[in-house]
């Protein structure tokens, strides 16, 4: 992840401490990740991708795009 990509997709804060919340696309081409800072993970009750069961869907209803 380069410096320009180190921001929270929920609050736009720039930080080194990000959690990968979801991966968009990627099945037939390049994908990208949605990242959240620790305060947003807690406030929005997000579950980081690495803490979900392997069988869980990666689709989110609370993506940041719906909040703007």
Residue spans per domain, the chain: 3-55
**pLDDT given at position 9:** 95
Q: How far apart are the first and last CA of the chain?
A: 24
CA distance 54 to 18: 21
With b for 16 or more beta-carbon neighbours within 10 A and e for fewer, the 15-52 pattern comes to: eeebbebbeeeeeeeeeebbbbbeebbeebebeebeee
pTM assigned to the model:
0.69
**pLDDT given at position 68:** 40
Whether 24 has a pLDDT exceeding 50, the answer reads yes
User: 28-51 pLDDT, tens per residue?
Assistant: 777 889 999 999 999 999 999 999
């Amino acid at each position: 992840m380069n410096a320009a990509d180190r921001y929270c997709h929920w609050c736009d804060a720039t930080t080194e401490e990000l959690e990968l919340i979801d991966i968009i696309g990627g099945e037939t081409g390049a994908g990208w990740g949605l990242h959240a800072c620790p305060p947003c993970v807690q406030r929005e009750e997000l579950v980081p991708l690495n803490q979900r069961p392997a069988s869980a869907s990666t689709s989110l209803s609370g993506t940041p795009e719906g909040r703007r």
